[in-house]
Amino acid sequence: MLPIARGELIQIFRNRSVLITSFVIPIAVCAFFIYQHDVFAQLASLGYIAGVVMFTVCAFGLYSTVVTTLASRRQNLFLKRLRSTAAPDGRILAGLVLPATVIALVQLTAIMIVFGVVAGAPDNIGLLVLAVLTTVAMMIGLGLATAGLTNSPEHAQITTLPVTLGVIAVASWVGISGTEELALLKRLLPGGSATELVMNAWNGGVALGDSLFLLGPTLAWVVVAVTLANRLFRWEPRR
């Protein structure tokens, strides 16, 4: 797994489009939100900013990179060659997605620390970590599923749009309007309960048990995403 991950990390830093998607876009968007945190805090809350920042990194930096990487490796038959080795399927996929995952976690950690220094620390760091980890797992699963529908790296620019824009839209909807109305719908949508959990972790004022309950929908989406990935993922290009 580690040799595969090492080789994939080298490829990421050689690919300009992936670098832009993984680094430039998330960092630029997050820097804007952090710089304007006073404005957005008046619109919603600091927890809302943290939620949008989290999904910006997870959607652009992690999810899109996973889909593009797997589509590219399938197109050049690298996946097929890897599968002919002794490495099991799980380790192959883990090695391919590990670099993007580590990069996203490092980015999130750094950005959240900067945000905490600028705007004030979160109320419950442990809860925030749980929200980030479950969100990362969900986005990896959705990335594996979407990769099964993506024929090429160029095609990934289209196939990733619904999830990328969707989770950020849901995060903004929940962050700005709250969950006093349409709570069930907002929490069941991908990203909804995770955003509320981040808001609770950052803003405080909510019982721990009520916040932990919000892990359920995100974990359910992890199961759904992995199930879809098992059904949709392909190791060879379509003929």
For residues 65 and 5, the model is more confident at 65
The pTM for the full model equals: 0.92
Q: What's the confidence (pLDDT) of residue 186? A: 92
- pLDDT of residue 178 exceeding 80: yes
User: pLDDT grade, residue 238 (50/70/90)?
Assistant: low
pLDDT in tens, 93-141: 988 999 999 999 999 999 999 988 888 888 899 999 999 999 999 999 9
Q: What's the confidence (pLDDT) of residue 62? A: 93
8 A C-beta contact, residue 145 and residue 45: no
Q: What's the confidence (pLDDT) of residue 239? A: 60
pLDDT in tens, 7-24: 777 777 777 777 777 777
Lowest mean pLDDT among 57-66, 85-94, 127-136: 85-94
Range 135-158 average pLDDT: 91
Q: What is the DSSP string of the chain?
A: -HHHHHHHHHHHHH-HHHHIIIIIHHHHHHHHHHHTHHHHHHHS-HHHHHHHHHHHIIIIIIIHHHHHHHHHHHHTTHHHHHHTSSS-HHHHHHHHHHHHHHHHHHHHHHHHHHHHHHH---S-HHHHHHHHHHHHHHHHHHHHHHHTT--SHHHHHHHTHHHHHHHHHHHHHHHHH-SSSSHHHHHHSTTHHHHHHHHHHHH--S-HHHHHTTHHHHHHHHHHHHHHHHHH--SS---
Task: Name, of 35-39, 71-75, 194-198, the range with top average pLDDT.
Answer: 194-198
